Amino acid sequence: MQLTLLILIFLPLLEIYLMIKVGSIIGAFNTIFITIITAIVGMYFAKLQGLSTLKSALENLRVNKSSLTEIVHGFCLVIAAFLLILPGFLTDFFGFLLLIPYTRNLILKNFFPKARDNNVDIIEINPEEIEEHDKFK
């Protein structure tokens, strides 16, 4: 609760500070233009990556494999799209990091080690039928 409150207070302040600093260097209209362009480009790539992840998940379902990794990657893409929609350079930076498959894999490997485990250990057994008179021997 407190971390969320701190993020909701300080993230917009940090974004405003960065926009003012960048705007003083490259100009206000260029800053607004870059913010809009990064949102449009980011949403385009989020759509492409999302469709690719969906195809991979459907292929895994077709061959009866676990698609946990694709679900987690899809969730990361939703977060990336949300961060790219928010105006600001810091959120765009983290949004683009989540869009790039290599950095997304690094983030997932370091923060969620169980999410990358696709191999499920399966123990196969051969059941035997036990006769009623063999139970008590």
Please check whether residue 25 lies inside any domain of the structure: no
pTM, rounded to two decimals: 0.68
| Segment among 12-21, 26-35, 105-114 with least mean pLDDT | 105-114
Which pLDDT score, from 0 to 100, does residue 21 have?
93
The domain tally of the chain equals: 1
Comparison of pLDDT for 91 and 135, the residue scoring more: 91
Task: Give the CA count within 13 Å in the CB-facing half-sphere of 62.
Answer: 6
- Which pairs from 20-25 meet CB under 8 Å and 24+ separation? 22/89
Please check whether residue 126 lies inside any domain of the structure: no
Give the three-state DSSP class for 94: helix
Please check whether residue 94 lies inside any domain of the structure: yes
Please check whether residue 105 lies inside any domain of the structure: yes
Please check whether residue 21 lies inside any domain of the structure: no
Please check whether residue 123 lies inside any domain of the structure: no
Using one digit for the tens of pLDDT, what is the confidence trace for 20-34? 999 999 998 999 999
Which residue range(s) make up the domain with 92?
35-118
Which pLDDT score, from 0 to 100, does residue 121 have?
58
